Structure 1
Amino acid sequence: MPRTELTIRTDDGDAPATLHTPDGDGPWPGVLFYVDAGGVRAAMHDMAAHLAVLGYAVLVPDVYYRHGDWEPFDLATAFTDPDQRARLGDLMSSLTSEIVAVDAESYVTALLERPEVAGTAIGTTGYCMGGALSLRTAATQPERVAAAASFHGGNLASDAPDSPHRLADRIRATVYVAGAENDDSFPAEQFERLDQALSAAGLTYTLETYPAAHGFSVPDNPTHDDEAEQRHWDALQRLYGAALVG
C-alpha cells in the first residue's frame, strides 16, 4: 500500500508522520491512528496499512517527537526490563492532557488538508495509551472527529481530574471502546464509570469487553490474540462505514 513520509508542524516542533492510503485514486475518509505506548514501529505501520486496505487514508504521527530520535521498544521486554520500563514511563508521562490537545489540533488539521482525504471530519483510533488520546482528540476537536475508537485503552475513567471520561459531554463523535478481560489499566469500575459518562452525554456508543488480554489487537505484543484482532478490524469497519464520508 502507498505510504507517504510527512512532517507535521506543531506548536512545539516538527512531528514525523506517515500517511497510509489505499491503492488507486482517492480521496478517502481520513483516520488518525494513535500508537500504543511502544510508539511508532513496524507493527504500527502494518496495522495502519491494513486499515488503508479497508478504504481509509491513515495518519500515524510520532507522538513522542519531542524526545527526538528515541530508541524503539521491544514489547516482549518493555514492561519487564527495569530500564526499558523506566524509559517508557518517562515518554508516556510526557504526554499531558494539554500537550495531547495541542498536538491533536495539528494532527487533525494536517490530515484534513491532505488531498488524499475526503470530507470535513475524520475518525480516530488508539491502542493502549493511544485509546485515551483517541477519546481526548474527539473531545478537543468535536466538530472534526465523527468517530472515535479505543482498543484496550488504559485509564479511560480514572479518578484523575483530567481523566478522559470527564470530557464526554464535549464529544460529538460516535464512540467505540473495547476493553480487555482482567485489565488492571481499565478495571470494571472504570468500565462502569465510562459507561455512565457516555450515556449521560447522550452519545451514540458501544462499550464492550473482549475475552482477551490487554494488547490483544497489536501483532507484536506478547498478548496478541488473532480472533480479537479480527474482531477489532470488523468493529472499526462498521464504525467508520457508518460515521465517515465515503
Structure 2
Amino acid sequence: MPIKSLLIPTPDGRADGFAAFPDDGERHPGVLMYADGFGLRPVLRDMARELADHGYYVLVPNLFYRHGPAPVIDLPAHIDADTRPGIFAELMPMIEAHTPDRILRDADAYLDFLTTQPEVSPGPVAVTGYCIGGLLATRTAAAHPDQVAALAAFHAPVAAAGPDAPAQIKAQTHFGHAASDLTPDDLNDLNQTLTAAGLTYTSEIYPNTIHGFTMSDTDSFNPSALQRHWSRLLPLLDRAL
C-alpha cells in the first residue's frame, strides 16, 4: 500500500501530510483522517494503510503545519507516563493556537484537496479522527453537511464542538469514547443531544479503556478496543460511501 507525501494548499500556507490508497489504478472514496494531538508518526501511517487496504483514499494532514513540518516536536518511539508531561508542555501552545477559525479554514482546504485528487472517486467523503482530531472531524462534518457522509471520532472531546454542531451534521456518525473520558451519565446526556438533533448515530463507551486507546505507540493502547474501533469504522464507511 503506497504512502504519498503531499503539500496541501491552505489560506495560511502549505500543510504537509500524506495519503495512503490502493495502488490499482482505480478511483476510491475519500477519507480525511485527523491525527491525535501527538501528530503524524509511524502509527498514523499504519492506520492509514490499514484503512486504505479496505478500498479508500486516506488523506492525513499535519494539523500543526503552521509551526513547521511533521514531526513538529521530537517524539519517543513509545509515549508513556514519564514522557507524556514534557510532550504536552510542548504541544499545548500549538493546540491552544488551533482556533475554531483555523480549524474551519483548514477543513475547507483539506476537503478541496481530497476531492480533486485523481485517485478519489466523485461523491461524498468521510472524516475520522482521534483525540483532538476527533473534535476536528466533528467540526468538519458540521461545517460541510452536504459533503461529509460519514463521521467517526474516537476518544475525542466531541462535546467541545458546541451545542449547535449535532443539528448541523447530516453524516452517519459513530463516537467511540474512552471509559476514562466519559461517565455513563455523560454518555446518556450526549446521546440525548444527538437523538434530539436527528442524527443517525452510534455512541458508546469502549469498556476498560483510557484516553488514547487506539494508539499502539502509547501506554494507553488497548488492542481489543482498537479492533472494536475497526469493527465500527469499516461498516460505517461501507454504508455511507
Output the CA distance in 2 between the equivalents of 1:79 and 1:89. 17
Match of 2:218 among 206, 217, 221: 221
Post-superposition CA distance 1:118-147 (Å, at most 9, x none): 122111110011111111000011111000
Count of residues in Structure 1 that have an aligned counterpart in Structure 2: 237
Match of 2:90 among 78, 87, 91: 87
Paired position in structure 2 for 1:234: 231
Match of 1:200 among 196, 218, 223: 196
Post-superposition CA distance 1:71-102 (Å, at most 9, x none): 23346248755442211111211211111111
1:157 aligns with 2:174: no
> Does the residue aligned with 2:234 lie in a helix, a strand or coil?
helix
1:48 aligns with 2:44: no
> Partner letter of residue 166 of structure 1?
D
> Partner letter of residue 206 of structure 2?
Y
Post-superposition CA distance 1:189-217 (Å, at most 9, x none): 54233212211111100001111222111
Output the CA distance in 2 between the equivalents of 1:220 and 1:38. 10
Alignment of 1:135-146 (within 5 A): 135-146=138-149
Identical-residue share of aligned pairs (%) = 40
CA RMSD of aligned residues (A): 1.7
Structure 2 unmatched runs, 5+ = none
Output the CA distance in 1 between the equivalents of 2:82 and 2:10. 30
- Shift of the 173–5 alpha-carbon distance from structure 1 to 2, 3 Å rule, reads same
- Please say if residues 157 and 193 of structure 1, whose CA atoms lie closer than 8 Å, have aligned partners that are also in contact: no
> Does the residue aligned with 1:142 lie in a helix, a strand or coil?
coil
- Please say if residues 147 and 174 of structure 1, whose CA atoms lie closer than 8 Å, have aligned partners that are also in contact: yes
- Shift of the 138–81 alpha-carbon distance from structure 1 to 2, 3 Å rule, reads closer
Output the CA distance in 2 between the equivalents of 1:98 and 1:87. 22
- Please say if residues 167 and 197 of structure 2, whose CA atoms lie closer than 8 Å, have aligned partners that are also in contact: yes
The alignment's TM-score, normalised by the length of structure 2, stands at 0.92
Paired position in structure 2 for 1:177: 175
* 1:55, distance to aligned residue in structure 2 (A): 1.1
